[in-house]
Amino acid sequence: MKHQVAAAALQHIPDDIVLGVGTGSTVNALIRLMCEQGKRLAGCVSSSEATSALLRDGGYEVMDLNSSGELALYVDGADECDPNRCLIKGGGAALTREKIIAAASRRFVCIIDASKQVEVLGAFPLPVEVIPMARSHVARQLLKLGGEPMWRENVITDNGNQVIDVGRLEIHDPLAMEDSINGIAGVVTVGLFARRPADQVLVATADGVVTL
Ligand code: 5RP
């Protein structure tokens, strides 16, 4: 299914653009296809060191977002997607760079399989990247919001920070939840993509790829 939706995403990528590239196994399938098919790009802006390594191995130039300017297109996966194309992301701990690239892109195409579709976000524990010294403080504030914070031990993000995964949330108002978690001192980013949802979601189903 990941291969199927990656192949569909490839059709959305014009030649010779600077492409924003996300992180995760679905995006890895896309990178593999790009390499196999000799996809021509002017360069890529990558959301993680892991993705950058794969892109460089495939012969693509990885550019700095500070010199690329606004991006025409960003392609990335997600952990959950609601009917309004709001997302939970960060299962791969790349949420901060992913959110920056999504914000800097005119178009964000998200690629998932049907198991990621939900009516209400929150069954997947919500990742929150935190400054290490603030971890316990942030966890206490997340408890007050009704969540069950769990420290993702042994994970350090590409930015040198830590990750808390918040379970037991039913996110009926993703915009408000994104704003309130982002407002906690010590939070770098919450993996809720509601202020900047996907513009288009390609969903791999047993009957083929469906577009939201
Ligand atoms: C990484 C992410 C990924 O997009 C998300 O975890 C989905 O990954 P996969 O394609 O492996 O299911 O947000 O931080």
Provide the 3-class DSSP secondary structure of residue 177.
helix
Q: What phi, psi does 79 have (nearest 5°)?
A: -95, -30
Q: Tens digits of per-residue pLDDT, 7-53?
A: 999 999 999 999 999 999 999 999 999 999 999 999 999 999 999 99
Active-site residue set: 98
**Average pLDDT of every residue of the chain:** 98
Q: Based on the fold, state whether residues 9 and 113 are members of the same structural domain.
A: yes
Q: Residues near ligand 1 with C-beta < 6 Å?
A: 22-26, 76-79, 89-95, 98
Number of C-beta neighbours around residue 113 at 10 A: 18
Among protein residues, the one whose CA lies closest to atom 8 of ligand 1 = 24
Q: pLDDT class for 108, splitting at 50, 70, 90?
A: very high
Give the pLDDT confidence score for residue 112 in this predicted structure: 98
Q: Based on the fold, state whether residues 98 and 130 are members of the same structural domain.
A: no
Give the pLDDT confidence score for residue 154 in this predicted structure: 94
Side chain identity, residue 135:
R
Q: Based on the fold, state whether residues 48 and 82 are members of the same structural domain.
A: yes
Q: Based on the fold, state whether residues 176 and 132 are members of the same structural domain.
A: yes
How confident is the model over 67-74, as a mean pLDDT? 97
d(CA 78, CA 105): 17
Q: Are 209 and 107 in contact (CB under 8 A)?
A: no
Tell me the CATH number at 27. 3.40.50.1360
Calculate what percentage of the chain has a pLDDT beyond 70. Answer: 100
Q: Based on the fold, state whether residues 67 and 168 are members of the same structural domain.
A: no
Residue-wise over 14-43: b if at least 16 C-beta within 10 A, else e? eeeebbbbbbbebbbbbbeebeeeebebeb
Q: Which of 2, 4, 23, 202 best tests ligand 1's pocket when mutated (most atoms within 8 Å of CB)? A: 23
Q: Based on the fold, state whether residues 20 and 99 are members of the same structural domain.
A: yes
Tokens standing for residue 102: 């999504």
Q: Tens digits of per-residue pLDDT, 177-188?
A: 999 999 999 999
Measured in Å, residue 29 CA sits from the centre of ligand 1 at: 12
How confident is the model over 76-87, as a mean pLDDT? 98
Q: Which of 21, 51, 54, 79 best tests ligand 1's pocket when mutated (most atoms within 8 Å of CB)? A: 79
User: What DSSP designation does 194 have?
Assistant: S
Give the pLDDT confidence score for residue 163 in this predicted structure: 98
Give the pLDDT confidence score for residue 26 in this predicted structure: 98
d(CA 205, CA 9): 14
Measured in Å, residue 65 CA sits from the centre of ligand 1 at: 21
Domains of the chain: total: 2
How confident is the model over 121-137, as a mean pLDDT? 98
Tell me the CATH number at 184. 3.30.70.260
Q: Residue 57 sits in which domain range?
A: 2-117+195-211
pTM of the predicted protein model: 0.97
Q: Based on the fold, state whether residues 142 and 44 are members of the same structural domain.
A: no
Q: Are 129 and 100 in contact (CB under 8 A)?
A: no
Which residues on adjacent β-strands are paired with residue 211? Answer: 202
Q: pLDDT class for 64, splitting at 50, 70, 90?
A: very high
Q: Based on the fold, state whether residues 186 and 101 are members of the same structural domain.
A: no
Give the pLDDT confidence score for residue 51 in this predicted structure: 98
